[in-house]
Copies of this chain bind each other. A is one copy, B any other.
Amino acid sequence: MAKRRAPASSSGETAPLIRAIPFLGSTPADASRLTDRQRQDVLAIATRLRLPPRLTLYHEAAPASSLFVVGEGAVKAFRDLPSGKRRVASFLFRGDVFGLAENGRYLNTAQTITHVSLYRLPIDKLTHLLKHDAELQFKVLCKVTHELRQAQRRAIVVSRRDAAGRLAMFLLMIKTHLIDDIHSDTISLPMSRSDIADYLALSLEAVSRATAELERRKLVKFEGRHLARVLDAKRLGALAAAV
């Protein structure tokens, strides 16, 4: 993370603005990428933001004026419950969309985890654009559908009883989500342990003990606080699947 950030802007521009997945069925794979023209249209209404870690982008229940797309970095969307507990609804990485609202207000609070680059899309302009470009809108629909699936998966993760199993599922979710290192045995974890706890609906202590258990069982090696190395993918997968 502290390594040279390279010519970030150029790589950010050429990367797919939105990474989506076929909505319903046999949509051709390439349908999930934006055309040059579409990217141009979207960029025309977008503001590029470069932000430091730990910055709150918007608060829950605040009037929603923009939708965001992650260009680079990690963001978390969460809600603080009356009890004082915090529930992380999702971690967002490159290509993810966030900022969905209900009745004109954001549902979650969004905060940057790392240094990030974002695209900020004013809702009114985006709505206009979507209503005039059905193909583009279809890609957004696919994207939102994907988020929906993620949310359903998370509900399954959280419903597990054993902390180690939940953590195993979490690690594999992050691993498959961060397409970069899909063939690597390392998983980068930009978020803190307590963020993970809030995502998994466990106490911070339980997460700590779960990481210890995964190490003790030689499934994963945690190297520092922000990197995990998979030692036994097979057994880790088995643990994750043993829901």
Which of the 9-residue segments A10-18, A130-138, A214-222 touches chain B? Answer: A130-138
Closest approach, in angstroms, between the C-beta of A159 and any C-beta of chain B?
3
Please, how many angstroms separate the alpha-carbon atoms of A102 and B127 in the complex? 25
A134 contact from B108, B133, B146, Cβ within 8 A = B133
Closest approach, in angstroms, between the C-beta of A75 and any C-beta of chain B?
16
The verdict on A61 contacting chain B, using a C-beta distance below 8 Å, is no
The verdict on A67 contacting chain B, using a C-beta distance below 8 Å, is yes
A80-111: CB near B (< 8 Å → 1, else 0) gives: 01110101010000000001111110011000
**Looking across the interface, which residue of chain B has its beta carbon closest to that of A90?**
B152
- With contacts A24-B64, A102-B21, A145-B100 taken as known, whether A241 is within 8 angstroms of B159 at the C-beta atoms is no
| Chain B residue contacts of A64, Cβ below 8 A | 24-25
The complex is assembled from copies of this chain, and their number is 2
The verdict on A179 contacting chain B, using a C-beta distance below 8 Å, is no
**Looking across the interface, which residue of chain B has its beta carbon closest to that of A134?**
B134
| Chain B residue contacts of A23, Cβ below 8 A | 100-101, 127
A25 contact from B123, B135, B243, Cβ within 8 A = B123
Considering residues A27, A102, A147, A152, which has the most beta carbons from chain B within 10 angstroms of its beta carbon? A152
Measured CB to CB, the residues of A under 8 A from B are 21-27, 63-65, 67, 79, 81-83, 85, 87, 89, 99-104, 107-108, 123-124, 126-127, 130-135, 137-138, 140-141, 144-149, 151-152, 154-156, 158-159, 201, 241-243
